[in-house]
Amino acid sequence: MTQSNPALSARAAGPAPRLGIIGGGQLAKMTAAAAAPFGCEVVVMERQADFPAQSVDTQALIGDWDNPQELLKLGPLVDVVTLENEFVSTVALAALVKAGHKLWPAVRTLELVQDKLQQKRVFAGAGLPTARFADAPTQQAVLAFGFPAVLKKRLHSYDGKGNATVRDEAELEAAWRKLDGDQHPLYVEAFCPFERELAIIITRGQNGEAVQYPVVETINKDHICHIVKAPAMVPDAVATQVRDVAGRAVSAVDGVGSFGLEFFLLSDGRVLLNEIAPRVHNTGHYTIEACVCSQFENHVRAVLGWPLGSPALVAPAAAMVNLLGFDDGAGRPDGLAEALQIPGAHVHVYGKAQSRRGRKMGHVTALGQNVEDAAAIAQRAAGCMQFGGKR
């Protein structure tokens, strides 16, 4: 629906539980689509009207979720609240829980991961392999840490926004200004000359039981996920490390729901845990068509307290290619009909009103006998489409 409904009603004994989602982007849209076959109604809270999930939600609540008084309006409308955005104020979320409403993942989980320095400390405390890291309250602290390093914002960073590689004092000075280190808390990590990037989705239930999706390879461009190949073509020993570390990481933050975890694979075969997102994740979009039960369906099952479904692939391999905005412009893509002519291409258009350069506007998934065949199909279809002008 396109606007907040004046008739927004308290939950009734409907045919299934009502799910509330904080945030109305593509992650909320795909979660709501996965909830619908269970008979669930979804109420989406967004800051303003006209958002991707509007096409599949039941009701919208427009408001500022970081304001406890506004977030508290969501509670009585639904049975369980979840989120598509991990940067919601934990003060507001705690007020929601204190008022007796159910929230998954829990406030404590979000407190452990929102601040990426705190997240790294949790991983280190659990004995999980990460790049060496340190707090960076001052430039002096970075100098003491040593070069080459990556300076990162502790809060509100995603898709590589808020990161800068620094190799000397001059680069540090420039990066500190760019990231506004005097205003925003930063931390520093050792520069990690990884060979490849790997990722995995884990869904963990309220009883602590978890399912692990395949280990995938992610190929980024400009710090934004470009292609995901499932499964990753890595030795068993590497996949086993990823599975072990990822499972321990989700347990360490007592996660409930679907989580995306990103790893660096080093040339010596070791893996380092890069970060965890306490939500459904771009590296798991391929699961909609490629797995028995998608990351979105399993997230719904987990937060509603239902048994989890199988994360197994339904084909030998799959690939997903993101569709990014080429430039500012309308949200309607050119070339959709051409893309739909590619056999086996599953096209997703998020329905964002406006394209912006680099904005995630949609994605294409394809299955295949191997990841290269699947990737070729997905890339061919993605190559037909343009958002915001010609590329």
- Interface contacts to its own copies, rule CB under 8 A: 1-3, 5-7, 9, 13-16, 29, 32-33, 36-42, 54-59, 292, 301, 305-307, 309-310, 314-315, 330-333, 336-337, 340-341, 343-344, 346-353, 362, 367
Of 41 and 197, which has the nearer Cβ to its own copies?
A: 41
Of 99 and 353, which has the nearer Cβ to its own copies?
A: 353
In whole angstroms, the minimum distance from the beta carbon of 139 to its own copies comes to 44
Of 5 and 220, which has the nearer Cβ to its own copies?
A: 5
Of 29 and 281, which has the nearer Cβ to its own copies?
A: 29
CB atoms within 10 A of CB 219: 14
Q: Are strands 102-103 and 80-83 parallel, antiparallel or unpaired?
A: parallel
CB atoms within 10 A of CB 270: 12
Of 235 and 307, which has the nearer Cβ to its own copies?
A: 307
Of 162 and 284, which has the nearer Cβ to its own copies?
A: 284
Helix (H) or strand (E) holding 84: none
In whole angstroms, the minimum distance from the beta carbon of 339 to its own copies comes to 9
Measured in degrees and rounded to the nearest 5, phi and psi for residue 56 equal -130, 5
Burial label for 224, CB within 10 Å (0-12, 13-18, 19+), is middle
In whole angstroms, the minimum distance from the beta carbon of 159 to its own copies comes to 21
In whole angstroms, the minimum distance from the beta carbon of 348 to its own copies comes to 5
Q: Are strands 59-62 and 41-46 parallel, antiparallel or unpaired?
A: parallel
Of 62 and 252, which has the nearer Cβ to its own copies?
A: 62
Contact in structure between 186 and 179 (CB atoms under 8 Å): yes
Dist CA 303 CA 28 (whole Å) = 14
Burial label for 172, CB within 10 Å (0-12, 13-18, 19+), is buried
3-state secondary structure of 361: strand
Dist CA 198 CA 220 (whole Å) = 11
In whole angstroms, the minimum distance from the beta carbon of 189 to its own copies comes to 37
Helices (H) and strands (E) in the chain, counts: 12, 20
In whole angstroms, the minimum distance from the beta carbon of 141 to its own copies comes to 46
> What's the sign of the alpha-carbon dihedral 43, 49, 53, 57?
positive
In whole angstroms, the minimum distance from the beta carbon of 216 to its own copies comes to 19
